[in-house]
Structure 1
């Protein structure tokens, strides 16, 4: 009886070949989920455990569930899947495996490939990176996004729907390892390209030049001076330095990514003048510019006017030297002299210093004098200097005249004696007689002669001219007088003969 019962129980097991089946999709795309269900026929057997296999290897899932899911399928998940279950009826166990089901996981899009417009670009040139891939034709509506990396750091703004990234300018520090990634918008599938090396080439600097740039024309003391150093070629960070030839020490230094740089001296001084040069260096051999002369011009200071009289007083006929000089100021300097704001003369001094000119005084030269200095950077006027000219043309009593008269008086006796001898000998030799009774010169009474000489009025014998030449020359008029016997006619004879016996003598001032 017991044997018959066991035959009844186990007999159906050998007959139910498809008692356990595995339900699974045969084709899926990567990123999709793979749903597996191990299912038995409807009978009175109760499943206790379920185990899933891929290519004969057990998959790690809970053993008490009949359905499992692989959430994001990948190509590696492709293979032959099956399941096994244990069941129990009454007190008898039962074990069964399903038939295998082949599952293929298809690529949603191929692995991207990074392409570069230039793998050895020149510094400063643009480079375009492209992440090349596309969705499967069966899933052409899948949206992809891209991101580019250099040495593990994302470039640009990160993820973007564009498969291209354009770098406007590549520099030496941009050299490195590049790759890209592509992923679906749902973030289910992400793939990375192989890495590519980019090496940026640097261009050495060349044709370095130095220029002066002044905002308001010439370089003026106290103003600003800008030295512009530039290169025709050169890439990357360029270090510019400025040097003065006299010391060769650097007066400024800048490092920047450009082909030129400026050095500004905010308040230039005359001591800043000299010859300068600049250097440019971007990692290769530094290149030096030619020497450039910097000239700093300074405005003129207020000039000083001095009047130097060539005598003790400013009198008519005297000469006065007017001297104007500005202590500071870059040449050439133009000096203007003024009398009562009327221009007298303009004098240009090309090499600096002061200017002078002489003025022969007349009565009209009295008044205020001033001068002006101008070197093109602003004219400066001196303070006013007054001048008072004394004396007249008809009556002149200066110190020169007094000294000359003293000299003449000393030699007047000698001159008069010489003239008397001359006329006496002339009369004897020629047989001429005076209009009145002649007197022998040897018998003449000196006292009488002196008395007769003093009769003419001094005022009437004054010369009717003045000196008009240089101050060191004085003209004097001397009369030769031979007193007649009749003293009453002395005045008349002197007046009649004064124009016929005139001797001019010039006496140098001592």
Structure 2
């Protein structure tokens, strides 16, 4: 009775047990973890001492034999697709083997490819470092990244790596690197391109060149002088400033690059040194000074001097002197008129004419007085003039005598209080 009971108890242990391999998840995608479990339906691992080992195809996985019935795989890739199974070994060196299980790893195609730049915005200074970063929002496995320059697609570089981003670097940017760029990513399901990204290379302005253009070989006053300033290198827009002896004349802008001109009408003060400055926000550069010497016409200089002297005299002399100058001019005018036409009478009131017949002694002259004007305040000026007869020939038997009048004029002045009767007619009107 007792041997039969022992046989019934030992029977489950002596009979071979069946193993099962369980994968979780059973349909993994690339890059995801997987847990493999070697399981006995009627036996717990704690009931007996077992060693476990996991295999893919004919190759052992992990550390080999282990007391744990589970194996953790951190990430599964497309090449990990295959036939998996496990083994269990008892203390008596009896080995149990599970059935094979096919595990297929699924790859996710790349999607949403984009290209970014560092520094951001696509603007970089000449000589600085530029990085083109190609990224995908989705995609698993080994992804091949390719970078292209220009719309026609000049291949610059390609990289294959298990990453969602990759970088292409230009260590020192040159002016020729200003272009459109794009990248392509693919992982076996066809290439997927990014959009175009424009790269602008910002170039500081070079030292500008100043040219002076005049309408003639020797510039003169009132000529229009053209100042042309141009920086041969530099990113637009460029702002130009023009100077005469460090005094700002004005500015001009060149939105598309190149040079700019400033026109100046020359005066006597415009001889000297001229210069210009170029600035595009990346640093200013100033040109060398250009010297301009031009001639000043003698007439213009003398007229300028004469007008200055007259203005100074008029501001210094008082109203009385101005009146005297006026009367002196009137006297000369009357004298010239009498010389041209001796028989023509003087302006009203008419002076008396004296005729002498063979008289060696002329008659007494009768002066005529006339108020000129009230100049200022209480000061009144009078004009006195008379005719001086002149005997040209004397004949004893002839009674006719031809006389030529000579006008004499004197100026008198006296102080009196001006009253309403002193106002001129034109002033009253």
Same fold flag (TM > 0.5): yes
- Give 5+ residue unaligned stretches, structure 2: 303-335, 343-403, 408-429
Aligned match of 2:157: 252
- Who is 1:197 aligned against? 102
Deviation for aligned residue 1:129: 1.3
**Greater shift in the superposed pair: 338-347 or 328-337:** 338-347
1:370 and 2:271 aligned? no
Report if the CA contact (8 A) 1:362-1:389 is conserved: no
Deviations 1:20-59 (A, max 9, x none): xxxxx9999xxxxxxxxxxxxxxxxxxxxxxxxxxxxxxx
After superposition, the Cα gap between the structure-2 partners of 1:344 and 1:203, relative to the gap in structure 1 and judged at 3 Å, is: same
CA deviation after TM superposition for structure 1 residue 217, in Å: 6.5
Q: Is the contact between residue 175 and residue 198 of structure 1 (CA under 8 Å) also seen in structure 2?
A: yes
What is the distance in 1 between the residues matched to 2:122 and 2:183?
22
SS in 1 for 2:207: coil
Larger radius of gyration: 1
C-alpha distance in 2 between matches for 1:145 and 1:382:
87
Equivalent residue for 2:339? 436
Matches of 1:307 and 1:228, distance apart in 2: 49
- Note closer, same or farther for the CA distance 1:237–1:364 as it changes in structure 2 (3 Å cut): same
The aligned counterpart of 1:357 is 262
Q: Residues 140, 224 of structure 1: CA spacing in aligned structure 2 closer, same or farther, 3 A cutoff?
A: closer
Partner SS for 1:370: strand
**In the TM superposition, what is the alpha-carbon distance from 1:357 to its structure 2 partner?**
0.5
State the 1:236 CA deviation: 1.3
Q: 1:230 aligns with which of 129, 135, 158?
A: 135
2:56 to 150, 161, 172: 150
> Which string of whole-angstrom CA distances, capped at 9 and with x for unpartnered residues, describes residues 317-370 of structure 1?
443221110112221111122334443322211111101102233454444432
Higher relative contact order (CA 8 A, sep 6+): 2
What aligned pairs does 1:283-298 form with structure 2 within 5 A after superposition? 283-298=188-203
Residue among 26, 30, 36 paired with 1:129: 36
Q: Residue 180 in 1 paired to residue 83 in 2?
A: no
Contact 1:108–1:135 (CA under 8 A) maintained in structure 2: no
Matched, 1:328 2:237: no
Match of 2:212 among 307, 326, 333: 307
Distance 1:298 1:187, change over 3 A: farther
Once the two structures are superposed, residues 146-193 of structure 1 have per-residue CA deviations (whole angstroms, 9 ceiling, x without a partner) of 332222323334444433222232111110111223346x78454333
- Answer with 289-298 or 276-285: which moved more: 289-298
What is the CA distance between 1:111 and its match in structure 2? 4.8
Number of equivalences: 308
Alignment equivalent of 2:77, drawn from 142, 154, 171: 171
Q: Which residue of 2 aligns with 1:40?
A: none
Shift of 1:274: 3.2
Contact 2:122/2:198 (CA < 8 Å) preserved in 1?
Answer: no
Q: Which moved more, 1:222-231 or 1:105-114?
A: 105-114
Is the contact made by 2:242 and 2:262 (CA closer than 8 Å) also made in structure 1? Answer: no
* CA RMSD, 1 decimal: 3.8
2:13 aligned residue: 106
How far off is 1:142 after superposition? 4.9
- Cα gap change, 1:166 to 1:386, in 2 (>3 Å): farther
CA distance in 2, matches of 1:178, 1:369: 88
1:450-461 to 2 correspondences below 5 Å: none
Helix, strand or coil for the counterpart of 1:296? strand
Contact 2:122–2:199 (Cα < 8 Å) also in 1 = no
Deviation at 1:378, TM superposition (A): 2.8
Structure 1 pair 368/130, CA: closer, same or farther in 2 (3 Å)?
Answer: farther
CA distance in 1, matches of 2:62, 2:293: 88
1-side partners of 2:231 and 2:31: how far apart? 56
Q: Assess if the C-alpha contact under 8 Å between 1:315 and 1:361 holds in 2.
A: yes
1:282 aligns with 2:187: yes
Distance in 2 (alpha carbons) for counterparts of 1:281 and 1:146: 40
